[in-house]
Amino acid sequence: MIQLRIPFLVISLLLTGCQVTPDDARNKPAAFQMHSNRSSQQLSECIYNAWSTTAVIAKDETSHIEKTEQVTSVYTWEDSMFADIYSRGKGSEVKFYKTFEMGDSVQSDRLSLLKACL
C-alpha cells in the first residue's frame, strides 16, 4: 500500500514546486489586462458565476471571491488562475494571472469567460 502512495507523493511534490503563490504571480506582468465599463462588483460577480460552471469544467466549487479595500479577486481551482478587479472611475480594470501552468483548454476557457464579462 505504501509503495502505491510513493509515486503519487512524488508527482504531487513536483507539481507543487511549479506553482507560485498569488502574491508571487502579481510580481510579474499579468497574462491579460483590460478596462471594463462594468463596476468592479458587477465584473467580479460575472467572472465568479462564469468560472463556477464552464464548458471545460462542469462544476468548479473551488471558485471564490476575496475583497479588500483596493481590489476584488476572483480565484479558481487551487488559486491556479485568478482575476484582480480594481475600481477605475465609473468602470473597472481587470488583471488575469496564473500561478500554475494549466492545460491550454482550461486556461483558454477561463480567459474567454473573463473576456465575455467585460
pLDDT in tens, 14-65: 444 567 899 999 999 999 999 999 999 999 999 999 988 766 566 667 889 9
Task: Provide the sign of the torsion angle of the four alpha carbons 19, 94, 39, 52, taken in this order.
Answer: negative
Q: Say yes or no: domain 31-117 is CATH 3.30.70.
A: no
* Of the candidates 111, 77, 68, 70, the residue with the CA atom closest to the CA atom of residue 93: 70
pTM of this structure:
0.80
pLDDT of residue 96: 97
- Using CA atoms, how far residue 44 sits from 1, 2, 21, 71, 109, in Å, is 45, 44, 20, 10, 17
- Sketch the domain layout of the chain as residue ranges: 31-117
pLDDT of residue 82: 97
Indicate whether 94 pLDDT > 60.
Answer: yes
| Rounded average pLDDT over 69-74 | 97
